[in-house]
Chain A
Amino acid sequence: MTKKETRDRQYLNVTIVTHSEGKDMPVNFKYKKRHDREKPMALDVLLQAQETKLPDLAFRYGCRARNCGVCTIDINGLPRIACRSVVRENDKLKAMSTLPVITDLVVRRDQISRQLRGKIYRNSGGNDLNVDASEDYHELTSCIECYACLHNCPMHQKNSIDQSESNESYEYGNPFSLLKLQTIVMDPVSSNSQKNDAITQAVNLGLDTCLNCPGCKCGIGIDLKGKVVDPLITASKKIADEQF
């Protein structure tokens, strides 16, 4: 084996796109493998970069076990959960393109939750809690809020993803906010008016955009089209018909 080949097996070349004051700066980083066969995750690469070349590199992470949903970044332009995504030679690690970047790989996330402020689980205290929820309900509450579903979402793209601080919450929704609303529809404890409320909220967030969309992709495999979007569209049509 030549010297170069040996070296190549010890290192992995990755581009980390840092970001500060509105500007992207790609940095080439050589990840040093701990052994020849190591297949590092994106988070391993970021941690090593912080330990060596980029001590002030900013990125989010939490549990390292794909449960907390905070470490999502783009790898070669696609959203990936960094702690459980294997990195390959020449991969590019960058902040998610669907949310405003603050610094390096950190994006601002809270305009998504603010969109539902005051619109979920109001006055649910008085209902009988001792009712079994369906499997579909539990499928929806397996969402870890990684926001990978924002990618290529035409509804979310209607928002202007800028950094202006006045933009505290987005006008248009996304698969995650629809999922939270559909959870209320699926919740056996919700009253009919709460369910109708949730469906109306979905319409207000721009549900009609979904009519011409082939469907969304979930970061952990929830059937967003079948379990969230389609049922909401059907329900909203039913409400519209009744009102008509």
Chain B
Amino acid sequence: MRISLVWKQYDVLVVGSGGAGSNAAETASEMGASVLVVTKDPLSASDTKISEGIATVRASGSEDDTEDTLSENLLLAGGDLPDANITSAFARDSQMAYDKVRANGLRPKISAITKNPDPLPLPMGGHTKRRSIGHKNSGVAFGHANWNSIVKDTKIDYKEDCWLVDIITGNNKDDTKSIVGALIYDAQRGELLAVVCASIVVASGGLSTIYFPKTDTMRGNTGDSYAIAARAGAELVDMEQIQFLPFCLTSPPAFEGLLGGEPVTASYLGVLRDKNKKVILDGVYLRTRAECSAAIMKAVEDGRGTKNGGAYLDMTANKKAPKSGVYFMNFLKGSLPSAYNNVRQAMSKSEAQCEDLWEVRPSAHYMMGGIRVDENCRSIGGSEGLKNNGILGLFAAGQAMGGLFGANRLGSTSLTEGAVFGQRAGKNAAHHARNISGMNPLNKKLFMEKAKKVNSLIGQKGHLHASRIKLSVQKKCWENLGPIRDEVRLNKTKLFISKTRKKLKNVKISNSTKWNQGLIEYLELENMIDTAELMAIAALERNGSLGGHVRADCPNISLFSKPYSTIVRFVNNGVNVARLPRQQTEFKKLIKFKFEEQKKFLGAKILRLMPMILKDRVLEKRYKKIMNIQKPSITVQPGSVEAAFGDRKIL
């Protein structure tokens, strides 16, 4: 073999070192397990680190914030697609999990009155209680805490610059599968690691890079979590549900894809226009992200898109209003400081001052679906009520897991998701490793076969480059699997993927074993292709628009119809897809929810039709109210429901 194979043995292997991975590693180690963390990017350099740093902590704002209240908020926002056991677990553990991160150095502001961390002054959209805690230095503060949790413990081994090639499973007598270990490419040392372990925690983040550069997340999100789990035989849930942020930047290249604003920051008079300046969507601030994204992409499709394939966000009316204009600018700057900072650097002065139109385009932000797990982060499969036939020893946490958010994600929940389920996964992975009785005798052949495959890739002859194929995949995924979809496009995606798969054998890979970029690109490309295929098939199965999934060729799925999740998994000759029925929220609650939304929309409509003088006065009052309540600034988290009022009336 060209590349040497190094054998290692651990109880628990954690893949990823972001919010979920670091919490899993720390907890598993505390339980007495031997732990190895592998991470392809430097330690804790993850979506958690680059996030806005706002975390949901139940009852941080008021004592009457019960577990049921929070759990219900998540279910309703997610269109009843989330698993109620998982949302309950989230609600139950949020305080404990948050304190564990605090023990590693995360220091929120403490209220002088309650002597506890102080949540933001208003509940974030979709939350019925104040429970979102902001932090100085945003996600970077979480990055430090996560880094500390791994580095502080000499019992946790970690390796950077490691790409997981494949999870290795063995068959049990009762037809189930168990984790045996994993094969990992250690680019830093130029070797293959054969890690023998009883438990694996997949915590390697999302998939937004399949749309690069139309994303505001980390480069490493190449769908690794979903692809490695699916190839091992795991089921994935709600893979069509991706959250796109509609108002992201289109140029210059260094800023392409980064966040510019949210529906709510377009404020009361913001509208979307096509390249001929014709209004394509009004009342933007009450629209869902999906509605905004779809309007932009529809204009692009009809040839009315802007130069860079987007549309214009016009906020000039807000600015021009004689009295309320000043308040609007303060609101815009204060509510999304990081996004406004991007705009200031990337756009012209008159654009940044909202005297000119912003060219905007959607970007991928968060994957709400993922590996199908139970509330203990164990991989599960089969129909509800049947015997668990997931993969024994496989766990998932953070963006890698599905079942918590369903069709929409409430703001400030993802950092807590990483902590809560990272810790649950770590605990249960350690528990599983300790309790499995009589591990199958180690079958080295399983590892050797995979190692041989990698070995044959090194030095592979060909005329293609994986990095360039990646670019074509990103382009096609954007066009056909992006913010707007239909049957024709999704079938095109399937065809494109099968063609691209055939190209893999003609990819040229150099001979070197140490940091072989060609091999790295190849491994990531494979994960991107696998993930895109699973997504396309889930998106075909859901023949209606719901949450982050917009089907141009089908009607919206009603809030009152029977909810279901899509399930996909690889089988021998392709992908298997099924529907998993979900529990519907009580009718009474749904109607109340719907009624409140309608009231808000009517109010907005009346405001829009008022004459300018009157409108200006009303707006001045409104701005004054929100600015006064929220001192020193209003904080809206990108991706939160609050930042897109419309997302509350999803379904």
Residues on A close to B: CB < 8 A?
A: 20-21, 34, 38-41, 43-44, 47, 50-51, 55-58, 60-65, 67-70, 83-84, 102-104, 106, 108-110, 113-114, 116-122, 124-125, 127, 129-133, 137-138, 141-145, 165, 183-184, 187-189
Contact = CB atoms under 8 A, between A and B. Distances in A.
Given A67-B50, A117-B151, A133-B107, A108 B188 contact: yes
A129 B50 contact: no
A184 to B, nearest CB: 8
Interface in B51-108: 99-100, 102-105, 107
B340 interface: no
B510 A70 contact: no
A239 to B, nearest CB: 22
Given A68-B41, A110-B158, A141-B105, 10 more contacts: A55-B465, A62-B45, A63-B218, A65-B50, A67-B50, A68-B49, A117-B152, A118-B153, A121-B104, A125-B103
A165 B514 CA distance: 12
Most A CB within 10 A of own CB, among B187, B220, B254: B254
Contact of A70 (B45, B216, B342): B45
13 contacts: A55-B467, A62-B219, A68-B45, A68-B218, A83-B254, A108-B188, A110-B42, A110-B158, A118-B152, A124-B103, A132-B110, A141-B136, A142-B137
A62 B220 contact: yes
Contacts of A44: 252-254
Interface string B134-177: 00111111011001110111100011110000000000000000
B361 to A, nearest CB: 15
B15 interface: no
Contact of A43 (B107, B254, B512): B254
B389 interface: no
Contact of A130 (B115, B138, B218): B115
A65 to B, nearest CB: 6
Taking residues whose C-beta sits less than 8 angstroms from the other chain, chain B's interface range is: 35 or more
B152 A58 contact: no
B283 interface: no
Given A118-B154, A137-B107, A141-B140, A56 B252 contact: no
Q: Is the interface of A mostly helix, strand, loop or mixed?
A: loop
Nearest to A100: B188
Contacts of A119: 152
Contact of B45 (A55, A69, A188): A69
A165 B42 contact: no
B467 A51 contact: yes
B114 to A, nearest CB: 9
B188 A57 contact: no
Contacts of B213: 64
B512 A70 contact: no
Given A56-B465, A137-B107, A121 B148 contact: yes
Interface string B99-127: 11011110101100001110000000000
Interface in B509-561: 510, 512, 514-518, 520-521
Rank and list the top 6 A-B pairs by shortest CB-CB distance, nearest first.
A55-B465, A103-B515, A133-B107, A118-B154, A58-B517, A138-B136
Contacts of A84: 254
Interface in B245-301: 251-255, 257-258
Given A62-B218, A102-B514, A113 B151 contact: yes
Contacts of B510: 56
B600 interface: no
B110 A130 contact: yes
A77 B46 CA distance: 28
B187 A102 contact: yes
B152 A122 contact: yes
B140 to A, nearest CB: 6
Contact of A129 (B102, B217, B342): B102
B116 A130 contact: yes
Nearest to B467: A55
A50 B465 CA distance: 10
B258 A64 contact: yes
Contact of B50 (A20, A62, A102, A114): A62
Contacts of B115: 130
A102 B513 CA distance: 11
Contacts of A132: 107, 109-110
Contacts of B42: 60, 69-70, 109-110, 145
Contacts of B49: 63, 67-68, 144
Contacts of B254: 40-41, 43-44, 64, 83-84
Most A CB within 10 A of own CB, among B100, B514, B520: B514
B444 interface: no
B189 interface: yes
Contact of A110 (B160, B252, B518): B160
Given A56-B465, A113-B43, A120 B253 contact: no
A139 B110 CA distance: 17
A40 B188 contact: no
A183 B148 CA distance: 11
B631 interface: no
B117 A130 contact: yes
A127 B107 CA distance: 13
A102 B218 contact: no
B471 interface: yes
Most A CB within 10 A of own CB, among B100, B109, B253: B253
A187 B107 CA distance: 9
A168 B518 CA distance: 26
A145 B143 CA distance: 10
Contacts of A63: 49-50, 217-219
Nearest to B254: A41
Contacts of B255: 64
Contacts of A165: 189
A133 B105 CA distance: 10
Nearest to A129: B102
A36 B102 CA distance: 49
B253 A56 contact: no
Most B CB within 10 A of own CB, among A104, A118, A130, A131: A130
A11 to B, nearest CB: 15
Nearest to A114: B151
Contacts of B50: 62-63, 65, 67-68
B151 A120 contact: yes
Contacts of B518: 55-56
A39 B161 CA distance: 31
A65 B260 CA distance: 12
B501 interface: no
B468 interface: yes
